[in-house]
Amino acid sequence: MRSAFFSIFRKSPFEGLLRHAEIIREAAPLFRMAFIAYLDESRSDFEKYQNKVTMLESEGDAVKRNIRGHLPRGILLPMDKFQLLWYLREQDKILDSAQDSLHWLSYRNTHIPDEYVDDLLLMVDKITSVLKSIHPLVAAAESYFQSFSENHRAMVKSAIKQIREYEFESDQVERKLIADFLNYPFDNPTSAFHLVRLVEYMGDISNHAQNAGDMMRAMIAR
């Protein structure tokens, strides 16, 4: 049963948030395939997947604007409006950072030393898990704000914990890759800069996911 609040309006904010999270989830396999194509030196395939992520980011922006434009006025929101908007900002930046990562990668054909390919793919897999983890969080939060049950609240907290674990794991790989790239004897130092900045962009994805989780925790706080 929908809560009294959500029954007042044709759409709840969480309908838009859930659609936005679905878009992020759709970007996850494309993000990974873009990296595989780059490592395989398949420029056409890389651009294909990059363009698909760009299209999803544009769709996500449209959903974000729609959410902002249709928030109910007054004090009827079952959570702080500032917190909701800040959560939306962080969730949107997840998709922005995924797009930024691929844009940055596209600027240069940098050879990845063979000994670091596995670690780079490991980080890609961690980020892919992060991208997929937002939808369960929003779905659990929607259920909580409909029922305000302790069971649904526990589901939200569990989803937040999972995101934090993914962020921690990706951060460990990020730190190792940065150290490795900075210490590798590249013929051109631009290669080191390109790869270090790349993993930093990728790290931003998980950082914004954790920020979103932290804000969601504040939204469900009692």
The pLDDT assigned to 103 comes to 99
Residue 194 pLDDT exceeds 90: yes
Longest dimension (CA), the chain: 64
> pLDDT digit string (tens) for 17-67?
999 999 999 999 999 999 999 999 999 999 999 999 999 999 999 999 999
Which CATH architecture best describes the domain 12-220? Answer: Up-down Bundle (1.20)
**Can you read off the two tokens belonging to residue 215?**
């804000």
Distances, alpha carbon 200 to alpha carbons 71, 151, 206, in Å: 34, 36, 10
Domain boundaries in the chain? 12-220
Region for residue 71 given its phi and psi (left: phi exceeds 0; alpha: psi -120 to 50; beta: otherwise): beta
> pLDDT digit string (tens) for 84-116?
999 999 999 999 999 999 999 999 999 999 999
How many Å apart are CA 15 and CA 138, to the nearest integer?
9
pTM: 0.92
